[in-house]
A and B are shown apart, each in its own frame.
Chain A
Amino acid sequence: MAKVTLKNLRHSYYPNPKKPEDYALKEIDLEWQDGGAYALLGPSGCGKSTLLNIISGLLQPSEGQILFDDTDVTETEPNARNIAQIFQFPVIYDTMTVYNNLAFPLRNRGVEEARVDQRVREIAEMLELDDMLDQRASGLTPDNKQKISMGRGLVRDDVNVIMFDEPLTVIDPALKWKLRSKLKELHQKVNVTMIYVTHDQTEALTFADQVVVMQDGEIVQIGTPVELFERPAHTFVGHFIGSPGMNVLPCEVRDGAAYFDGQKIALEGAIGDVAGAKTEIGVRPEFVSIASTGLKATVRKATNIGRHTVVEARVGDIKVNAVSDKDNFEPGQEIHLKFDPAKTRVYADGWIATDRAVP
Chain B
Amino acid sequence: MKTQNQKGWLFVLPVLILVAFNALIPLMTVVNYSVQETFGNNLFFWQGLDWFEQVLRSERFHGALGRQAMFTGIILAVEIPLGVAIALAMPRSGPWVSVCLVLMALPLLIPWNVVGAMWNIFTLPDIGLAGYTLNTVLGIDYDMTQSPFAAWATIITMDVWHWTSLVVLLAYAGIISIPDAYYQAAKIDGASSWAVFRHIQLPKMKRVLTIAVLLRFMDSFNIYTEPFVLTGGGPGNSTTLLSIDLVKTALGQFDLGPAAAMSLIYFAVTLLVSWLFYTIMMRDEE
- Inside 8 A of A105's CB, which chain B residues have their CB? 188-190
**Which stretch, B74-82, B94-102, B178-186, B240-248, touches the partner chain A?**
B178-186
Contact across chains for B184 and A108 when beta carbons are under 8 A apart: no
Contact across chains for B190 and A89 when beta carbons are under 8 A apart: no
19 other contacts beyond A79-B189, A104-B191, A108-B190, with CB at 8 A cut-off?
A53-B184, A58-B184, A78-B188, A79-B188, A85-B188, A87-B181, A88-B181, A89-B181, A91-B181, A93-B199, A93-B200, A94-B204, A104-B199, A105-B190, A108-B189, A108-B192, A108-B195, A149-B185, A152-B185
Chain B: residues with CB nearer than 8 A to chain A? 179, 181-182, 184-185, 187-192, 195, 199-200, 203-204, 286
Contact across chains for B191 and A108 when beta carbons are under 8 A apart: yes
Contact across chains for B185 and A83 when beta carbons are under 8 A apart: no
In angstroms, Cα B182 to Cα A89, docked, is 9
Contact across chains for B190 and A109 when beta carbons are under 8 A apart: yes
Q: Is A96's beta carbon under 8 Å from chain B? A: yes
CB distance from A243 to the nearest CB of B (A): 30
Contact across chains for B185 and A87 when beta carbons are under 8 A apart: yes
In angstroms, Cα B188 to Cα A104, docked, is 11
- Inside 8 A of A88's CB, which chain B residues have their CB? 181
- Return 21 A-B CB contacts under 8 Å, by A number: A53-B184, A56-B184, A58-B184, A58-B187, A78-B184, A78-B187, A83-B188, A87-B181, A88-B181, A89-B179, A91-B182, A93-B203, A94-B204, A96-B199, A104-B189, A105-B188, A108-B191, A108-B192, A109-B190, A139-B286, A149-B185
Chain A minimum-CB-distance residue to B195: A108
CB distance from A82 to the nearest CB of B (A): 9
CB distance from A52 to the nearest CB of B (A): 11
Among A134-150, those with CB < 8 Å from B are 138-139, 149
Contact across chains for A84 and B188 when beta carbons are under 8 A apart: yes
Among A95-125, those with CB < 8 Å from B are 95-96, 104-105, 108-109
Contact across chains for B184 and A152 when beta carbons are under 8 A apart: no
- Inside 8 A of B184's CB, which chain A residues have their CB? 53, 56, 58, 78, 85, 87
Contact across chains for A95 and B199 when beta carbons are under 8 A apart: yes
- State whether A79 and B187 are in contact (beta carbons under 8 Å apart), knowing that A89-B181, A108-B192, A139-B286 are contacts in the complex: yes
CB distance from B209 to the nearest CB of A (A): 14
Chain B minimum-CB-distance residue to A86: B185
B191, B204, B286 interface centre (most CB from chain A within 10 Å): B191
- Inside 8 A of A79's CB, which chain B residues have their CB? 187-190
In angstroms, Cα B195 to Cα A77, docked, is 18
Contact across chains for A85 and B192 when beta carbons are under 8 A apart: no
- Inside 8 A of B191's CB, which chain A residues have their CB? 104, 108
Picked from A58, A94, A104, the residue with its CB within 8 Å of the CB of B203 is A94
CB distance from B281 to the nearest CB of A (A): 14
- Inside 8 A of B189's CB, which chain A residues have their CB? 79, 104-105, 108, 152
- Inside 8 A of B203's CB, which chain A residues have their CB? 93-95
- Inside 8 A of B185's CB, which chain A residues have their CB? 85, 87, 91, 149, 152
In angstroms, Cα B185 to Cα A87, docked, is 8
Q: Which 4 A-B pairs have the closest CB atoms?
A: A108-B190, A87-B181, A91-B185, A79-B190
Chain B minimum-CB-distance residue to A152: B189
Chain A minimum-CB-distance residue to B198: A95
Chain B minimum-CB-distance residue to A88: B181
- Inside 8 A of B192's CB, which chain A residues have their CB? 108
CB distance from B69 to the nearest CB of A (A): 30
- Inside 8 A of A58's CB, which chain B residues have their CB? 184, 187
- Inside 8 A of A87's CB, which chain B residues have their CB? 181, 184-185
Among A270-306, those with CB < 8 Å from B are none
B190, B199, B200 interface centre (most CB from chain A within 10 Å): B190
- Inside 8 A of A109's CB, which chain B residues have their CB? 190
In angstroms, Cα B184 to Cα A78, docked, is 9
- Inside 8 A of B182's CB, which chain A residues have their CB? 91
CB distance from B197 to the nearest CB of A (A): 12
Chain A minimum-CB-distance residue to B200: A93
